[in-house]
């Protein structure tokens, strides 16, 4: 971008992420100060002052973000400064789209002050080809196949697809993104938060708990035990709660059973009962002891704990 050719330049692109990346590259070529605005009401003042040289500092680039409605509202002002040479600062307006009415797009194109962010059209074939090439650049295995699966799952929105790639990259870790990562994330077989396993455990749902234990690359045994002990502590405290703030605090019930989470803890504790919770506590402590022994298989220890806990919990119902 030749900054001195116009006091106002416009960058337009549908994708928020691609547009931001394009703007960042443009800003890297600017040596002076940068000021940022979003739909400023004093846009005319900014444009008028852009070419005013500073006696004490460097020239300033004003970066203005806006929506289509803003461009339409200030169309007459914007058109005045498109193609107006500048010897000092400049203004860059970056938008998702320019309204067809108002003449801003035509004026920007005529003065060669409009930069369109390189991005594919909305046609599925174009998006798939672009996404596949992008994945290949990232070092993935089978970019086109991954792109096809992602589009089937997420649609044609570029920002949504790029966000999905971020998730895949986290799942793949140090390995190249592969189609197996797509299946894991899309089909819900990627690593899940610990709280989901904890919930399945205390619900007596051994099948779900074991599936969550092995999801993706599997959960680490010690954090699982720690999560179970923490939840069990809350349940035992909730069972003994009679309105006092001390026990309520330790059980996570400091708001006296007013919020949904606290009600759920109290309801589950009453449903399981003290005898069941005590047996679960004993089983978790035994599993924790077994995990510390050398030669034991931690996965087998956790699976056994989950199955035994399920039998104990189901015997209460």
Confidence tier at 241 by pLDDT (50, 70, 90): low
pLDDT tens digit sequence for 200-235: 999 998 888 888 887 756 677 888 888 888 888 888
d(CA 94, CA 85): 19
DSSP 8-state secondary structure symbol assigned to residue 102:
S
At 137, list the tokens: 């650049």
Q: Taking the domains of the chain in order of start, what are their residue ranges? A: 3-116, 124-186, 194-314
pLDDT surpassing 70 at residue 163 = yes
At 141, list the tokens: 């295995």
Confidence tier at 98 by pLDDT (50, 70, 90): very high
With the C-alpha atoms ordered 205, 211, 212, 213, is the resulting torsion angle positive or negative? positive
DSSP 8-state secondary structure symbol assigned to residue 268:
H
Q: Which CATH class for the 3-116 domain?
A: alpha beta
The residues that bridge with 63 in the sheet, in sequence order, are 36, 92
Looking at every residue in the chain, the average pLDDT score rounds to 83
Burial 286-296 (b: 16+ CB within 10 A, else e): ebbebbeeeee
Cα torsion 238, 243, 245, 248 to 10°: value is: 10
pLDDT tens digit sequence for 133-154: 999 998 888 889 999 888 887 7
Q: Which of 12-21, 29-38, 49-58, 270-279 has the lowest mean pLDDT?
A: 49-58
Stretch 288-296: mean pLDDT: 78
Q: Which CATH class for the 194-314 domain?
A: mainly alpha
pLDDT surpassing 70 at residue 186 = no
By 3-state DSSP, what share of the chain in percent is helix, strand and coil, each rounded to 5? 60, 10, 35
Stretch 48-58: mean pLDDT: 69
d(CA 168, CA 177): 7
pLDDT surpassing 70 at residue 87 = yes
DSSP string, 26-38: HHHT--SEEEEEE
In this prediction the pTM is 0.57
Is the CB of residue 112 less than 8 Å from the CB of residue 9? Answer: no
pLDDT surpassing 50 at residue 44 = yes
- Per-residue pLDDT, 188: 54
pLDDT tens digit sequence for 250-287: 444 444 444 555 667 778 888 888 889 999 999 998 88
- Per-residue pLDDT, 249: 47
pLDDT surpassing 80 at residue 41 = yes
DSSP 8-state secondary structure symbol assigned to residue 134:
H
């Amino acid at each position: 971008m030749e900054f001195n050719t116009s006091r106002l330049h416009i960058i337009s692109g549908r994708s928020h992420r691609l547009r931001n990346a394009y703007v960042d590259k443009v800003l890297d070529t600017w040596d002076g100060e940068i000021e940022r605005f979003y739909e400023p009401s004093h846009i005319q003042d900014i444009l008028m002052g852009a070419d005013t040289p500073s006696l004490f500092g460097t020239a300033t680039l004003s970066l203005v973000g806006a929506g289509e409605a803003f461009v339409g509202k200030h169309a007459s002002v914007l058109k005045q400064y498109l193609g107006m040479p500048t010897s000092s600062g400049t203004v860059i307006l970056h938008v998702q789209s320019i309204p067809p009415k108002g003449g801003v797009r035509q004026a920007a194109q005529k003065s060669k002050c409009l930069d369109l962010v390189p991005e594919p059209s909305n046609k599925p074939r174009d998006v798939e080809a672009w996404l596949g090439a992008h994945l290949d650049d990232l070092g993935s295995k089978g970019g086109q196949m991954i792109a096809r699966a992602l589009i089937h799952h997420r649609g044609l929105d570029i920002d949504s697809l790029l966000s999905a790639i971020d998730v895949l990259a986290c799942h793949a870790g140090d390995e190249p993104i592969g189609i197996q990562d797509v299946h894991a994330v899309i089909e819900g077989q990627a690593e899940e938060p610990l709280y989901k396993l904890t919930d399945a455990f205390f619900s007596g749902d051994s099948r779900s708990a074991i599936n969550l234990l092995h999801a993706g690359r599997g959960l680490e045994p010690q954090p699982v035990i720690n999560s179970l002990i923490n939840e069990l502590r809350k349940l035992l405290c909730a069972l003994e709660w009679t309105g006092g703030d001390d026990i309520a605090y330790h059980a996570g019930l400091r708001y006296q059973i007013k919020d949904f989470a606290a009600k759920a803890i109290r309801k589950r504790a009453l449903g399981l009962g003290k005898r069941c919770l005590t047996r679960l506590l004993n089983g978790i402590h035994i599993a924790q002891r077994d995990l510390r022994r050398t030669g034991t298989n931690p996965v087998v220890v956790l699976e056994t704990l989950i199955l035994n806990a399920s039998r104990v919990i189901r015997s209460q119902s």
